[in-house]
Amino acid sequence: MKKINPEDFRVRPAQKVDLDKWPTVAKPVYHSQEEYQGALANHIRELSELQDLLYASNGYSLLLIFQAMDAAGKDSMIKHVMSGINPQGCQVYSFKHPGAEELAHDFLWNATRKLPERGKIGIFNRSYYEEVLIVRVHPEILKAQRIPVDLVDADTIWRNRFRSIVNLEKHLHHSGTRIIKFFLHLSKEEQRKRFLKRIDEPEKNWKFSLADIEERKYWAEYMKAYEACLSATSTKIAPWYVVPADDKANARLIVSRVILNSFEELGLKYPKSTAARQRELLAIRRRLTKQQ
């Protein structure tokens, strides 16, 4: 299998993103379906072992954020890449349209309640970034948030929200939460094909709604919103990775490799037993050997 370099997909801090220049299709890193399945299985096994280390060390936590247009493969990405993870050490949240309680608080309130505990992996299927994406494309959502009129200035509100997000992620980093953000970059044509597949295959009908087609009308606006977001919020400590998503298998191998590299950079080790703990264990062992 071709070696994957995560830096090929990473948005540099302060880099101005033009998504037209970022591919939605990359040269496959695998040569056959069998090689893909074997490589993904290896990645999953390594992730499972590293998750055990994360849980045992109980210091760091890991937050994975997935953002994308509809049909880009967020759900299947989480299902396949994280399939070997112990559910007890992993928390997955899907962010939907905000309800009354969310609308009564600031835009980061709901997400901060769902952050992973130390020793665990948190996965956000969509996230607080929706507040600078869909809300930017659909200003009527912003009006529903009942923010004082003098604070809703078109020239500053998005810049202020970007700053709030970066500051939150900086705070989390210094508290031990490592954040990795993925934008699954899907082409409009590939989305059309996947929508048609959802219509043609009965078992996929439930995934499709008229609202999905309506959102396609705003494709250009969404791309501009994503470009602004990626440019403003990809930092050294909480980077964005723009992953070509037209080939789902390729995207899964890229994402899993990025996660593995991030895990390995932590240098996790199992906690060492102290002398006192060893004496305690030996005492327990003697008691157990005497029992019938």
Query: What's the CA gap between 65 and 183, in Å, rounded?
Result: 8
Helix (H, G, I), strand (E, B) or coil at 40: helix
- What is the pLDDT at residue 98? 79
207-228 residue pLDDT tens: 888 888 899 999 999 999 999 9
- Percent of the chain residues past pLDDT 90, beyond the cut: 74
pTM for this model (two decimals): 0.93
Query: What's the CA gap between 285 and 276, in Å, rounded?
Result: 14
227-242 residue pLDDT tens: 999 999 999 999 999 9
- What is the pLDDT at residue 104? 87
Q: Kindly provide the residue ranges of all beta strands, DSSP E only, lying in 115-262, ordered along the sequence.
A: 121-125, 177-185, 240-244
Q: Does residue 292 have a pLDDT over 70?
A: no
- What is the pLDDT at residue 206? 85
Q: For residue 146, what pLDDT band results from cuts at 50, 70 and 90?
A: confident
Q: Which domains does the chain have, with CATH numbers?
A: 6-290 (3.40.50.300)
Q: Does residue 260 have a pLDDT over 70?
A: yes
The length of the chain in residues reads 292
What tokens were used for 128? 């607080």
Give mean pLDDT, residues 30-50: 95
- What is the pLDDT at residue 109? 95
Q: For residue 82, what pLDDT band results from cuts at 50, 70 and 90?
A: very high
Q: Which residues on adjacent β-strands are paired with residue 10?
A: 241
- Percent of the chain residues past pLDDT 70, beyond the cut: 100
Cβ atoms 64, 182 nearer than 8 A? yes
Q: What are phi and psi of 280, to 5 degrees?
A: -65, -45
Query: What's the CA gap between 111 and 102, in Å, rounded?
Result: 10
What tokens were used for 118? 């130390």
HSE (side-chain half, CA atoms, 13 Å) at 256: 31
